[in-house]
A and B are shown apart, each in its own frame.
Chain A
């Protein structure tokens, strides 16, 4: 119901954007793929169903709206059932493609099942959605806050309880920190954001944060619980001396902390977030068609923001038989998502970080390699 007005508003915008980009692309580097794609996409028709990670929901809605303007006859649906549900439905064949916050592993046999589902070929796995998790805060008189990983972990573990604690003051010279209790806000629901955040804390400050990687906040660490991203943002906004973690796109007017990486402090900008995939090593099981990474949270690389949510697209290398038509569409849609304009559109609409140029071309090659028989 909401889609229609959005689509309506988007059509002129995307059309203009597409014109602009195709004009630019033309004289920059006659990339043979781009021109051909646009023509191919316009001829696509039919329906394809995908779904999975709810973190991607806003971006997927934007991409579907954008894709519909270049391929008006095509209908794509994305059901935000959650990463686990998405992988399950992909394996069962209900989804032609899936979005997932974690890559496929064989811990529970998912990779094997997915390979069987794709006719014996390993499924493709590509990062398509990167979003920095910002540390938002609302402390009187403090706009610029630098936090070392240890201080951040200490605050959220309930071990640092005052804003003028030496651990915070050490990295904030010249800032007058109030001698007030810290109101640390976390998600009260089970959440992928919490999982990514604690994954970071566990990696960089295991001495302060000893609860490991969790989706549900460990209650012994205290703090204020709030429902959903909007709840956390609300609680931090209306609170005093509060701090919380939330998707950077939802931070609004709140001040965001710079996080210590190596010798410097980095703000959660899209570029800095996208950079983490460049400095992270490929995960076990990575291949030419599975561009999967184990995020290197402990990186000291300059200009990298380390608290990041990455989400992957999972699809088959080959679609055949009954699924050929859907496969054709899925390929078109995926190629739109990972294209430069798709990534930029996602960034504008959903606040995600566009893939870096190098990774972007790798990902596009993988999608190009999808065949339909």
Chain B
């Protein structure tokens, strides 16, 4: 830091009049304040979670909602959180990549633009509305599919459906679909941006070599956009991890661990569990819930961090 500043000062001091220098310092002050606020807010949240969550380390029995210790309580919730988010990503990734390709390369420009707007609109729908839609429309509509899956593909552990088969559609699979729809706008938008940035000259070179459109996309667009797509998916994953209301409304959750995606009972998620139980919690139960929030905070942080890291690594390579 000090080295660069001693190298640079003459240029900074000479540029512009007194007025612009005042403007510069005001703007840089405002900008740094904005940056600092983010850091402070993040540190404040982390501090709050640690201080309020710490007493839950020793929680057991009543204060851990009847579980032996905090790990036994939080682990199934963490599992459910990751399962729902990963399911959502499995659904959303091909969908978003396909949609982004249509917008950037296949559809006529005007159609593509409007399609882009429509998908961005999905991001403006409140999560409560997604929750209601999932609960009232999607879940009952998917029940016949789950019954069929359980009858015909029940030998696959994912579609076991439990002893008496699925009795309702509010499963983690449904929750995954709802989360996928909710994460679709952000993933599609980022994919679209990176696809558009593929150098024209690469594409034309591929076409000139006799590649079909699909071959051109495979040879030029995908390699160029790989890191962008990965970071888009990880950002979408972060969105899915933290989603609260929609999951709380859609999912029939309990503190269990199962890989059955269409059973009557499903693993609940951390965020949904907090939303469900915070209203009625008091005393040490609040600490327990906040501790689970801390776990989610750390996991989301890690996911975003990895996303950024992959994205930046890709940039250096490209």
Contact = CB atoms under 8 A, between A and B. Distances in A.
Q: Do A and B bind each other?
A: yes
Contacts of B252: 188, 224-226, 235
Interface string A216-229: 11110011111100
A190 B167 contact: no
A235 B136 CA distance: 8
Contacts of A225: 251-254, 265, 268
Best-surrounded residue of A183, A214, A234, A238 (most CB of chain B within 10 A): A238
B30 interface: no
B297 to A, nearest CB: 22
A90 B274 CA distance: 27
A161 B170 contact: no
A168 B277 CA distance: 33
A216 B66 contact: yes
Contacts of B255: 219
Interface residue tally on A, bucketed by range: 35 or more
Main SS class of interface, B: loop
B26 to A, nearest CB: 40
A223 B252 CA distance: 9
Contacts of B164: 161-162, 181
Nearest to B263: A222
B282 A190 contact: no
Interface stretch (A141-149, A239-247, A274-282): A239-247
Interface residues of B, number: 31
A219 B256 contact: yes
A216 B65 contact: yes
Contacts of B139: 238
B66 to A, nearest CB: 7
A325 to B, nearest CB: 30
A215 interface: yes
Given A84-B282, A231-B135, A231-B249, A226 B170 contact: yes
Contact of B140 (A84, A85, A182, A238): A238
A226 B277 CA distance: 12
Contacts of A52: none
B282 to A, nearest CB: 5
Given A183-B168, A222-B265, A215 B280 contact: yes
Contacts of A239: 140, 167-168
A161 B135 contact: no
Interface in A271-298: none
Contacts of B256: 219
B160 to A, nearest CB: 14
B170 A223 contact: no
A22 interface: no
B310 interface: no
A183 B167 contact: yes
27 contacts: A82-B282, A183-B168, A183-B264, A185-B168, A188-B252, A188-B253, A188-B276, A189-B277, A190-B277, A190-B280, A190-B281, A217-B254, A219-B255, A219-B265, A222-B162, A222-B265, A224-B168, A224-B170, A224-B265, A225-B265, A231-B135, A231-B249, A234-B135, A238-B140, A239-B168, A240-B143, A242-B167
Interface of B: 65-66, 135-136, 139-140, 143, 162-165, 167-168, 170, 248-249, 251-256, 264-265, 268, 276-277, 279-282
